[in-house]
Amino acid sequence: MAEVSNYDEGSIKSLDWKEHIRLRPGMYIGKLGDGSAQDDGIYVLVKEVIDNCIDEHMMGFGKIIEVKISERRVEIRDYGRGIPLGKVVDCVSKINTGGKYDSGAFQKSVGLNGVGTKAVNALSNYFKVQSYRNGESKLAEFTKGVITKDAKVASSSGRNGTLIAFEPDESVFKNYHYIPGYLEDLIWNYVFLNSGLTINLNGQKYFAENGLYDLLSRKVQQESLRYPIIHIKGEDIEVAITHSNQYGEEYYSFVNGQYTTQGGTHLAAFREAVVKTIRDFFKKDYDAADIRGSIIASVAVRVQEPVFESQTKTKLGSLNVGPDGPTMRTFVNDFIKVELDNYLHKNSEVADALQKRILQSERERKEIAGIKKLANDRAKKANLHNKKLRDCRIHLNDKKGDLREETMVFITEGDSASGSITKSRNVQTQAVFSLRGKPLNSFGLTKKVVYENEEFNLLQHALNIEDGIEGLRYRKIVVATDADVDGMHIRLLLLTFFLQFFPDLVKHGYVFILDTPLFRVRNKKQTIYCYDEQEKQAAIRQLGAKPEITRFKGLGEISPDEFGEFIGDGIRLDPVIQREDTSIEKLLSFYMGKNTPDRQKFIIDKLRVEKDFVEEEIA
């Protein structure tokens, strides 16, 4: 019989604030990650500090925020009122301590829980806070939440405001790195939502005059717009709307300057209000999917005492605009009903273009409907979940599960590669989808091909994105192809499929490339896996005495035992990031259109293998 442990007074433990944050970081900053995803913890740390600066700006104090981010260190300086000097230490080291509990000092702010900077402090190897107020300054320093320096208040010539500096703890955020594009998106969203604010990131100035109009202008290429951006503002609400040539729906929603990546009650009310208003305007009962198809829109609201569904504030839960205000649904619907209707009446050309886009979506939907049922029946007969897809047990859209954010699906080509990954994967969170040969080049084709082509149809069902990315089953879609000419071509074909028909997957950071080693360098005592020529040479110098060197030509050559090391805790993933000044149509036309020499040169230039191997493969 198994021994039963004693349950007595000694079993009850109390953790102090920093111990609890370090033991359960996910409660405070969401998932940890290594920086390859836009919502990884290292970006949440940056955001938590900037949020406090934004709250100062919203109260009318401080028009400039300075942000400096190097490989390991973050420094953020605002020019607001500065933390009251006698409470500097408490504000960064005592849970439920802060100025946001005083509704007179901070109204319609983001940080309400008194947790943000405490989490940053506890999860940093080094943390510094310095407040400047009226010719005086107070400085304190910490290591993993433990105070190491508590300087006395001293005279200072510094402008009023607060300086926070920190270095994330590498034992918590393993192998982390900041991706410049993600940081730029974060900063742009702050300036779009805060008129008159300038943020300097590593010397680069970020400023926007026209709010959400500028946001949409940056997010979408002008030549793909079906009509000029509709931009309307009211008290505590601002929206921007347009339609493009792309598939799907694309939204950017904000609450009190906070980017709510998972939407919430304000976004749900906005989507509903747009459909209702457009139906009423045209006096036609258009299908909601046809009205919202190809829409690109943004909505921002200001709410008193907002309630979010997690500490990371990515989804609004508040049902009311304020303690005594209307419901969110009524507030948004009343605004859209009046202002969007007025805009369409005053701008008949925009209204005509909008209606033409709706009718086009309607025609495409009906065209697809004829083959959709047949394609879905084929997917069932293909016994998807047993043959093409080796599924995992936990999924992103599960209602419960601490591992949802770790879920991923590897898209592989060939039995040997998929077999190795399948044998070495974590069956809880890692799935494998096996392609049969090279995918079809879908550039320039309509969405009919998604249902007519068996591979694409099965892939969209495996991902559960037929009706939009809200049902996506995996947090990361990982393209796992060989590091040779054929592998690069397959990679491009898959990215073409996603960008052509499901661009939101790329825009919202769900698509990644698996980085696998090109070389194994070993002797009798040690084995080192190298991802490029530079790492190989370093390994040779480290091991010395003519070690054995193996060059992996394909994923199938890597044994399941070895593969386990590359897709486990040390997995290296390169995010697929679409630059916001890049047109998807132009990008795909260049690399996937009728210009084979240009495409071949791109593939060869981008291959991370030795020149003689490339030439050998092409020959």
Q: Residue 301 is inside which H or E element, if any? A: strand 295-301
Specify the pLDDT at position 603: 56
Give the span between the Cα atoms of 501 and 7, in whole angstroms. 57
Closest among 164, 163, 86 to 124, alpha carbons compared: 164
Give the span between the Cα atoms of 464 and 512, in whole angstroms. 18
293 to 359, 360, 391, 468: CA distances (angstroms): 10, 10, 30, 10
Token reading at 70: 């190097």
Q: Is the pLDDT of residue 615 over 70?
A: no
Q: Is the pLDDT of residue 97 over 70?
A: no
**Please, which residues have CB within 8 angstroms of residue 616's CB and are 6 or more apart in sequence?**
none
Q: Residue 129 is inside which H or E element, if any? A: strand 124-133
- Mean pLDDT, range 5-34, rounded to an integer: 74
Give the span between the Cα atoms of 72 and 89, in whole angstroms. 23
The more confident residue out of 427 and 97 is 427
- Mean pLDDT, range 41-56, rounded to an integer: 90
Give the span between the Cα atoms of 76 and 448, in whole angstroms. 49
Q: Is the pLDDT of residue 397 over 50?
A: yes
- Mean pLDDT, range 246-260, rounded to an integer: 84
Q: Is the pLDDT of residue 520 over 50?
A: yes
Most confidently modeled range among 8-17, 79-88, 89-98, 436-445: 79-88
Put the strands of the sheet holding 295-301 in their side by side order. Answer: 230-234, 237-243, 295-301, 250-255, 258-259
Question: Identity (one letter) of the amino acid at 380?
Answer: K
The pLDDT tens digits of the residues spanning 125-152 come to: 999 999 999 999 999 999 999 999 999 9
Give the span between the Cα atoms of 48 and 21, in whole angstroms. 14
DSSP annotation string for 183-235: HHHHHHHHHHHSTT-EEEETTEEE--SSHHHHHHHHHS-GGGBSSPPEEEEET
Q: Are strands 237-243 and 258-259 parallel, antiparallel or unpaired?
A: unpaired
Instruction: Output DSSP code: residue 264.
Output: B
Structural domain 211-360, CATH architecture: 2-Layer Sandwich (3.30)
Phi-psi region of 331 (alpha: psi -120 to 50; beta: other; left: phi over 0): alpha
- Domain layout of the chain by residue ranges: 17-206, 211-360, 382-516+552-583
| Band of residue 45 on the pLDDT scale cut at 50, 70, 90 | very high
- CATH fold label, 382-516+552-583: Rossmann fold (3.40.50)
Closest among 499, 491, 494 to 587, alpha carbons compared: 499
Most confidently modeled range among 50-59, 104-113, 201-210: 201-210
Specify the pLDDT at position 14: 63
- Mean pLDDT, range 423-429, rounded to an integer: 91
- Mean pLDDT, range 515-520, rounded to an integer: 86
- Mean pLDDT, range 220-235, rounded to an integer: 84
DSSP annotation string for 15-62: --HHHHHHH-THHHHS----SSSTTSHHHHHHHHHHHHHHHHHHTT--
DSSP annotation string for 312-335: T--SB--SBSSTTS-BHHHHHHHH
Q: Is the pLDDT of residue 43 over 50?
A: yes
Residue pair 100/118 in contact by the 8 Å Cβ criterion? no
Dihedral in degrees, nearest 10, Cα atoms 557, 562, 566, 569: 170
**Please, which residues have CB within 8 angstroms of residue 535's CB and are 6 or more apart in sequence?**
519, 528
Specify the pLDDT at position 113: 45
Q: Chain-wide mean pLDDT for the chain?
A: 83
The pLDDT tens digits of the residues spanning 554-575 come to: 777 778 888 888 888 778 888 8
Residue pair 328/322 in contact by the 8 Å Cβ criterion? no
Q: What stretches of 396-473 show up as alpha helix (H) in DSSP?
A: 415-424, 448-452, 454-463
Residue pair 163/129 in contact by the 8 Å Cβ criterion? yes
Q: What is the CATH number of domain 17-206?
A: 3.30.565.10
- Mean pLDDT, range 508-531, rounded to an integer: 88
| Band of residue 37 on the pLDDT scale cut at 50, 70, 90 | confident
Closest among 531, 455, 464 to 493, alpha carbons compared: 455
Q: Is the pLDDT of residue 404 over 90?
A: no
